[in-house]
Amino acid sequence: MDRIEDKPPTRAVTWAVLGLASMTIMANATVASSLPGLRAHYADVPHIDTLAGLIVTLPSLAIVLSAGLMGVLIDRWDRQKLLLLTAVLYAVGGTSGLWAESLWAMLVGRLALGLGVAGTMNLGMTWASDLWQGPARARFLGMQGAAISGAGIVFMLLGGLLASYHWRGAFAVYALILPIAFLAFAALGPHARRIAAERDHPKPAQSTAERFPWAAFAFIAPLAFLFQAAFYITPTRLPFHLEALGTTSPLVVGALMAALVTVSAPVSLMYGRIRARLSAMTIFGLSFVLIGAGFVAHAMASDWHGVLAGSMIAGLGMGISMPNYTTWFMARVPATMRGRASGLLTTAFFLGQFASPLVSAPLVAAFGLAGTFAVVGGALVALGGGLWALHLLRPEPGFAET
């Protein structure tokens, strides 16, 4: 039985949890537009090309290494104190590009940013699972997915605008965590105090009977890893594929990349209605089929029009997929262990992101860019079909959110 009252969360609570989730999208992509200026500024630093790339990837590594610990802290420590700590890490580390003189200090700041993202992302995921139940959780997680996609568009455009004035400008966007954290601290305080009281005085049956669903995690973690590893081939390889097709305008490339996120946002908003009609396993299968079909369209494209069509198809798969992972997994996790579950799921997601370039590199070497999209797309379609077959053999029961 859950620990939160039956009455729906207030509007302030809703916006606070959505805000925490929306800040996760900025971990890597926001400063991409600053990299040319940063590389020119530190041109005398040895191996600057590699170090500039680490500005983008280091937060993901920090998230992979710390997300599990952050999840345990959510279950065992004061959530309000953790919110303040991680918000400070996020703000200081994220804005390090504004004030850090040395590149090495900036790289340390990116590690601190990753720690902050690990905390705020897990807090957002855990609060979403605590405060919304059953079909309401599916609807809210759909809203959360749309908020993440919408924030990605806004923050990347804002980062690009600020970087056009000065390469350090994009780093200022990370300061947005401060008003969001302030809202979350104020709005979630009563819920945090109640959860702390119930954790300190657990019911006897609750303290002995609950076990972490490792079998469910063993199923969902590889899917989350494969989803992110495959999906991040788009930002890491698609620009070069477009260049090979004759599209070199940064504006056009950026618009084609944004098309995927733009399509995914409204689909995420519809997730609650979709989940009411389709099982989670069917949605997993459908999402992999759609993303795979989008990749095949990339491989077959002769110009940017074909790539645009592929991005829109893949965006449909992304939109229904992201909230589905949390909905399916959290329905099987005891209320007292949702922080740990959020941390483990976050680790699987970001490990896939971090590993994506390493996984795709040998494929590009063997098959070329178009061939890589074809091979990965075909594999994703086959995986989606396999999940559908699994559902036919072992149908899920009705909507069993807890």
Say how many CA atoms lie within 13 Å of 143 toward its Cβ.
Answer: 16
Instruction: Please count the other Cβ atoms lying within 10 Å of the Cβ belonging to residue 400.
Output: 10
Q: Hey, what CATH class is 213-394 in?
A: mainly alpha
Q: Output the six-digit token pair for 91.
A: 């703000």
Which one-letter DSSP state was computed for residue 395? -
Could you report the per-residue pLDDT of 323-350, keeping only the tens digit for each? 899 889 988 888 888 888 888 998 998 8
> Where do the domains of the chain lie?
11-201, 213-394
- Is the pLDDT assigned to residue 90 strictly greater than 50? yes
From 35, 40, 68, select the one nearest 342 (Cα to Cα): 68
Say how many CA atoms lie within 13 Å of 174 toward its Cβ.
Answer: 33
The whole-number pLDDT of residue 7 equals: 64
316 in Cβ contact with 268 (< 8 Å): no
Could you report the per-residue pLDDT of 189-246, keeping only the tens digit for each? 888 888 777 766 666 555 455 788 898 999 999 999 999 888 888 877 887 788 888 8
- Is the pLDDT assigned to residue 382 strictly greater than 90? yes
Taking the C-alpha atoms of residue 107 and residue 113, their distance in angstroms, rounded to an integer, is 10
- Is the pLDDT assigned to residue 5 strictly greater than 60? no
Could you report the per-residue pLDDT of 178-189, keeping only the tens digit for each? 999 999 999 988
Taking the C-alpha atoms of residue 399 and residue 2, their distance in angstroms, rounded to an integer, is 17
Q: Where are the alpha helices (DSSP H) in 166-249?
A: 177-200, 204-209, 214-231, 233-244
- Is the pLDDT assigned to residue 59 strictly greater than 80? yes
The whole-number pLDDT of residue 64 equals: 87
* Average pLDDT over the chain, rounded to an integer: 83
The whole-number pLDDT of residue 238 equals: 80
Length of the chain as a residue count: 402
- Is the pLDDT assigned to residue 25 strictly greater than 70? no
208, exposed or middle or buried, with CB in 10 Å at 0-12, 13-18, 19+?
exposed
Average pLDDT of the segment spanning 372-394: 89
Burial 180-195 (b: 16+ CB within 10 A, else e): bbebbbebbeebbeeb
- pLDDT band at residue 2, thresholds of 50, 70 and 90? very low
Q: Hey, what CATH class is 11-201 in?
A: mainly alpha
- Is the pLDDT assigned to residue 399 strictly greater than 60? no
The residue among 269 and 250 whose pLDDT is bigger is: 269
Asked whether this chain's domains 11-201 and 213-394 adopt the same fold, the reply is: yes
345 in Cβ contact with 226 (< 8 Å): no
Determine what percent of the chain is predicted with pLDDT higher than 70.
90
